[in-house]
Amino acid sequence: MAAAVTAAAPPNLTSLRFHGWREKPTFSLSPTTLRFFRNSSRTKHLTQVLALVDEQQQQQVSFTEEENSLVEALIGIQGRGRSASPQQLTDVERAVQALESLQGIPDPTSSSLIEGRWQLMFTTRPGTASPIQRTFVGVDFFSVFQEVFLQTNDPRVSNIVKFSDAIGELKVEAAASIKDRKRILFRFDRAAFSFKFLPFKVPYPVPFRLLGDEAKGWLDTTYLSQSGNLRISRGNKGTTFVLQKKTEPRQRLLSTISTGTGVKEAIDEFISFNQNKGIGEPELQEGEWEMLWSSQEETDSWLENAANGLMGKQIVKENGQIKFVVDILLGLKFSITGTFVKSGTTPYDITMDDAAIIGGQFGYPVELESKFKLEPLYSDDKIRITRGYNKIVFVHLRTDGTGQK
């Protein structure tokens, strides 16, 4: 795939072209353009152009209909599967089986598309299998990758846990070989921490040589997309893995929320991106919505937070009713019911006035009332972003499956 970029600021950039875009772009510059960029003060313009192209490539990730069904099933699953509900697991497995029944790349182990760094999005058994899985895979704060390089003199498969840009990563490497068109054989043989604040690597304390057969395994690639962006693999311990080279905007937003860094900026970019796509005004969709993140910095009393929707779950109904539910402890819940009415073009008027502490079939009424405006900023069948009480921004995930394909 070739892409051409034209920039207006520096002269003669019309000849800046990228060839064979996949993992690492290669480009050619005309002699005039080369002379322009030999001036080190101007290289900033080239960096900005490259960053713009990379951003556009990231935003234009596309999937087939069947691949998109799997991506949709993965949205909102926490811990890469560890916290998935039975229904979520069923949806993912159904989408995985549908893709495995299709014709992806017929010989994935010999294809160049399998080469490179893959981000782990989901695994069916995050609490078992390899040491790196048992320790880190179920923690959303970390990013987990797998590198596959088979077409080299030293074929390797590596599992990588990236703690953060500031801290560093753990890399567990395995010598690899191709058994057939789908299966990779591997043996873990070395591992080390690479910390940004240390000039040397710290060995990972696992004696691979003493593990014998426990350090060996195999990995079948059961689906590799024609785009080289989506891969499904099954391991020798019965684990299913879903990996992607590029993620779609909602996945990137949820990943940022998991790390807790730069969330406000990521939300602004996400909303702006969807507004540029010409998506209509978001509505307050019915369903059960669990709060994932809020921009709240100052904390009110516990009851006030609950009554203003600053914690717990929101249940939105078609008839203009809305309920906030917060688990307290020992089976006790706080519940407050109210109404929502559309006011103007976008915001909703929320009135919450029927509160109670509930335990089993019994409820203790609480005198409490709250009124505020709720403005949907983005909403689909999986994720919702709103601006509510005291202009606090919220991100909710849908938990009931209503309306989901």
Which of 149-158, 211-220, 338-347 bottoms out in mean pLDDT, i.e. has the lowest?
A: 338-347
Asked if pLDDT for residue 355 goes beyond 80, the answer is: yes
Report pLDDT for 261.
86
Identify whether the C-beta of residue 351 lies closer than 8 Å to the C-beta of residue 339: yes
Q: Which residue has the higher pLDDT, 186 or 83?
A: 186
Domain extent listing, the chain: 65-247, 283-398
Mean pLDDT of the chain: 82
Strand partners, 174: 157, 188
- Name the architecture of domain 283-398: Beta Barrel (2.40)
CATH class of 65-247: mainly beta
Averaged over 365-378, what is the pLDDT?
Answer: 93
How many Cβ atoms from other residues are within 10 Å of residue 354's Cβ? 16
pLDDT of 289 reads 96
Which of the four pLDDT bands, split at 50, 70 and 90, describes residue 164?
confident
Q: What is the pTM of this model?
A: 0.75
The answer to whether 382 touches 397, Cβ cutoff 8 Å, is yes
**pLDDT at residue 7 above 80?**
no
Q: Do domains 65-247 and 283-398 have the same CATH topology?
A: yes
Instruction: Tell which residue, 74, 82, 195, has the closest CA to residue 139.
Output: 82
Q: Residues 264-282: pLDDT tens digits?
A: 999 999 999 888 776 678 8
Distant-in-sequence, close-in-space partners of 160: CB < 8 Å, separation ≥ 6: 117, 144, 145, 146, 147, 169, 170, 171, 172
